């Protein structure tokens, strides 16, 4: 039977509904739900049973899921954490990872293992903050030292590669790309300032928005989605990745409501984690060419090793050998490194751009995406195993 839009959506939603039930039924909840969604995507996709295909309609839902995932990731970021010592350390660590990645890839090319240097180097420095967010929430880690450090490293591990991708892989050239990024940042700032001016305390418009927040009008949700779609559209107009627009939308939303809004957050998580975000993970699994991975196991192992060496080792060392009073334990450093090496959405984005530009084959892209998927499969599981009753696991001071 040929998969149609309706049947494809049915199978995708079916496995999305089954995944959390299976995850909770497993002993000690060892497998994160994200892992099951990716595996299910491989199983029902065109390279598996062929029950579902990602046509334009499914791709639209996939893009919305990706957008909400990164909006929520941007919303979780604490500005004081990012600009504080931990945030600066995370930024310096990412820059070190980027330099190391270019050095390693150049050395492999010199040895005769030809890779798409820029694309692979950028992919090796990524951290799947959006992917990690539901895992960290489920494990109650977002308020721990390790969790906060993961958010810091994850912020630069997602924003850094997106910016590097726009500058180094863009068709305009580096200087023109920098100008475009500057214009995008200016537009994002203007978009962020408009609600602050229009929704001042005591204005009639603010009363209307608050009054309709819990009615059928759902004003706060609709305005949030307008913010998301607006910045994603601006990113698309500037030929930037939608991730950048979604991330900026989440960051702006947090600045607009610094103390948070439990009702809005609950609605966003309901729409995101309840429907759109699982679609993104399932569709990501559907895109993996299983036969290319099976035929090149050595390449898969090489990519996995590179991810650990380029991203995991520097993060571990930066956490382990910091100032004594802020130093993580060996267990905490290992957890931080394992979580920070978890990558997928950025790898999907970078390889997609490289394939479109003719710099990378579909087979190589599938192997690299599969390596990223395996990090999601395995590394959070290992992190949960090595987690001990260390100081880094205690709730962080507010």
- Are 144 and 393 in contact by the 8 Å Cβ rule? The answer is yes
Lowest mean pLDDT among 91-100, 115-124, 170-179, 230-239: 170-179
Give the mean model confidence (pLDDT) for residues 87-101: 91
- Residues 139-148 pLDDT 10s: 788 778 888 8
Residue 393: the pLDDT is 46
Report d(CA 393, CA 398) in Å as an integer. 15
- Report the alpha-carbon distance of residue 296 to residue 391 in Å, rounded: 42
Q: Identify which has the larger pLDDT, 328 or 32.
A: 328
Structure tokens at 278: 């699982």
CB burial class (10 A; 0-12, 13-18, 19+) of residue 168? middle
Could you tell me the pTM of the whole model?
A: 0.79
The domain segmentation of the chain, as residue ranges, is: 5-393
- Tell me the average pLDDT of the chain: 83
Q: Hey, which residues does 395 pair with through a beta bridge?
A: 144
Distance (Å, rounded) from C-alpha 112 to C-alpha 196?
55
Q: Among residues of the chain, what percentage have pLDDT more than 90?
A: 18
187/115: higher pLDDT = 187
- The alpha-carbon radius of gyration of the chain (Å, integer) is 21
Give per-residue pLDDT as tens, 290-325: 887 888 888 889 889 999 999 999 999 988 887 655
What's the CA gap between 96 and 339, in Å, rounded?
18
Class of domain 5-393: mainly alpha
Query: Is pLDDT larger for residue 280 or for residue 113?
Result: 280
39: number of Cβ within 10 Å:
19
Pairwise CA distance, residues 1 & 51, whole Å: 8
Tell me how far apart the alpha carbons of residues 361 and 356 are, in angstroms, rounded to a whole number: 9
d(CA 167, CA 164): 5
């Amino acid at each position: 039977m040929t998969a149609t839009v309706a049947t494809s959506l049915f199978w995708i939603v079916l496995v999305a509904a089954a995944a959390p039930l299976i995850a909770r039924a497993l002993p000690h909840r060892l497998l994160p739900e994200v892992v099951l969604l990716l595996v299910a995507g491989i199983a029902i996709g065109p390279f598996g049973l062929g029950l579902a295909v990602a046509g334009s309609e499914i791709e639209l839902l996939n893009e919305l899921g990706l957008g909400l995932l990164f909006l929520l990731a941007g919303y979780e970021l604490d500005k004081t954490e990012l600009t504080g010592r931990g945030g600066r350390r995370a930024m310096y660590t990412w820059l070190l990872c980027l330099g190391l990645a270019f050095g390693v890839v150049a050395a492999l090319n010199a040895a005769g293992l030809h890779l798409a240097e820029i694309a692979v180097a950028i992919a090796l420095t990524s951290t799947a903050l959006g992917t990690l967010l539901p895992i960290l929430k489920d494990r109650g880690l977002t308020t721990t030292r390790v969790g906060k450090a993961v958010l810091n490293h994850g912020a630069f591990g997602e924003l850094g590669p997106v910016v590097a991708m726009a500058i180094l892989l863009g068709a305009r050239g580096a200087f023109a790309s920098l100008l475009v990024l500057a214009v995008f940042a200016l537009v994002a700032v203007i978009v962020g300032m408009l609600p602050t001016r229009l929704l001042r305390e005591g204005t009639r418009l603010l009363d209307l928005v608050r009054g309709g927040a819990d009615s059928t009008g759902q004003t706060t949700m609709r305005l949030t989605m307008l913010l998301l779609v607006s910045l994603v559209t601006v990113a698309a107009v500037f030929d930037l990745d939608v991730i950048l627009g979604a991330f900026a939308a989440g960051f702006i939303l947090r600045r607009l409501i610094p103390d948070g809004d439990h009702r809005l957050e609950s609605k966003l998580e309901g729409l995101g984690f309840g429907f759109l975000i699982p679609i993104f993970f399932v569709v990501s699994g559907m895109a993996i060419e299983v036969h290319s991975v099976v035929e090149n196991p050595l390449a898969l192992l090489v990519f996995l090793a590179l991810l650990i060496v380029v991203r995991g080792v520097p993060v571990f060392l930066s956490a382990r050998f910091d100032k004594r009073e802020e130093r993580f334990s060996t267990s905490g450093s290992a957890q931080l490194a394992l979580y920070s090496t978890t990558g997928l959405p950025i790898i999907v984005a970078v390889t997609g751009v490289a394939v479109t530009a003719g710099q990378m084959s579909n087979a190589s892209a599938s192997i690299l995406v599969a390596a990223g998927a395996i990090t999601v499969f395995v590394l959070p599981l290992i992190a949960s195993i090595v987690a001990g009753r260390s100081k880094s696991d205690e709730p962080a001071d507010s």
